[in-house]
Amino acid sequence: MATVVAFHAHPDDEVLVTGGTLACAASEGHRVVVVTATDGNTGGATDEEFVRMRELRASSAALGVHRVVHLGYADSGRSEPMLPDPPGRVRFARADTEEAAERLAEILRVERADVLLSYDANGGYGHRDHVKVHEVGRSAVARASVPLLLEATLPREPIVRALRLASCLGLAPRETVEAFRGAYTPRAAITHRVDTRRAARRRRAALAAHESQVHGTGRLAPLMRLALRLPVAVFGLLLGREWYVEPGAAPAYGLRSSIFAEPLR
């Protein structure tokens, strides 16, 4: 059995980006650990029982995760310029990359991690904390000699097509379409497409655990609420794939169907 560590920027990213993969790995008997760089709070509270950390623990339990770790940084937010650091903590995007990498590497060593799940070079859609996860994850894997790094992503082309259609219908501004032309990863560079439909019920329950985000005013809140209204079978059909890039691997050999699978020939 392997140990899979998933490194994320904020609570709720674990289910949005890798939830199906983690649930499937746990159900197969692998040890699964979630590390979050921040607690999702842009204020000064550090109590681990802060609401978003409570939600993360509930979400992780639904997925079958064995351990949850907060790396200790504050959420960098989206505001420009970035807010000052809260008392006693550094915002993750402002943190020293190598210091953060060593914190993560120590967890990887203790856990004897076989796989680290991180983010692609764009940090998905470009959030500065997500880009930092990419940078810290790559450095930590080298420090801890983890055998396999997989960077979570989405295929760029269908997202751009969907946004272009939404723009034509007046549902999305043209600026959003342009912003996503450089987001995530081109389909040709993706190395893993993991079928997670069998974990739909657990992933849906994990998503529901993030009540503050589901019922909040964030940009993803309407989509989260819509997803939770779907029957489990439909939820799995629409959201039952997760994609990864293995740095240095050759996509031309075919998409891997599992994070543990050999290349398809």
- Supply the pLDDT for residue 29: 97
Q: How confident is the model at residue 263 (pLDDT cuts 50, 70, 90)?
A: low
Cβ atoms of 46 and 18 within 8 Å: the answer is no
- Supply the pLDDT for residue 264: 46
Q: What is the mean pLDDT of residues 37-51?
A: 75
Domains and CATH numbers, the chain: 3-154+190-196+242-248 (3.40.50.10320), 156-184 (no CATH)
pLDDT digits (tens, 9 = 90+) for 83-120: 999 988 999 999 999 999 999 999 999 999 999 999 99
Q: How confident is the model at residue 219 (pLDDT cuts 50, 70, 90)?
A: confident
State yes or no: pLDDT of 216 exceeds 60. yes
Q: What is the mean pLDDT of residues 245-264?
A: 80
Question: Taken in order 18, 23, 28, 34, is the CA torsion positive or negative?
Answer: positive
Paired with 260 in beta bridges are none
State yes or no: pLDDT of 59 exceeds 60. yes
Q: What is the mean pLDDT of residues 178-203?
A: 94
- Mean of pLDDT over the chain: 92
- Supply the pLDDT for residue 265: 44
- Supply the pLDDT for residue 48: 45
Q: Nearest 5°: phi and psi at 21?
A: -60, -45
Paired with 69 in beta bridges are 35
d(CA 241, CA 248): 22
- Supply the pLDDT for residue 179: 80
- Taking only Cα atoms into account, the Rg of the chain, rounded to an integer number of angstroms, comes to 18
Tell me which of 83-92, 205-214, 251-260 is least confident: 251-260
- Supply the pLDDT for residue 47: 54
- Supply the pLDDT for residue 174: 82
Q: How confident is the model at residue 252 (pLDDT cuts 50, 70, 90)?
A: low
CB-side exposure of 46: number of CA atoms within 13 Å? 11
Alpha helix segments (H runs only) across 147-262? 156-168, 174-180, 200-208, 211-214, 221-229, 232-239
CB atoms closer than 10 angstroms to residue 173: 12
- Supply the pLDDT for residue 87: 87
- Supply the pLDDT for residue 169: 83
pTM here is 0.94
In order of 9, 62, 78, 94, 154, the CA distances from 23 in angstroms are 19, 8, 30, 32, 19
- Supply the pLDDT for residue 173: 78
Question: Taken in order 123, 127, 131, 134, is the CA torsion positive or negative?
Answer: negative
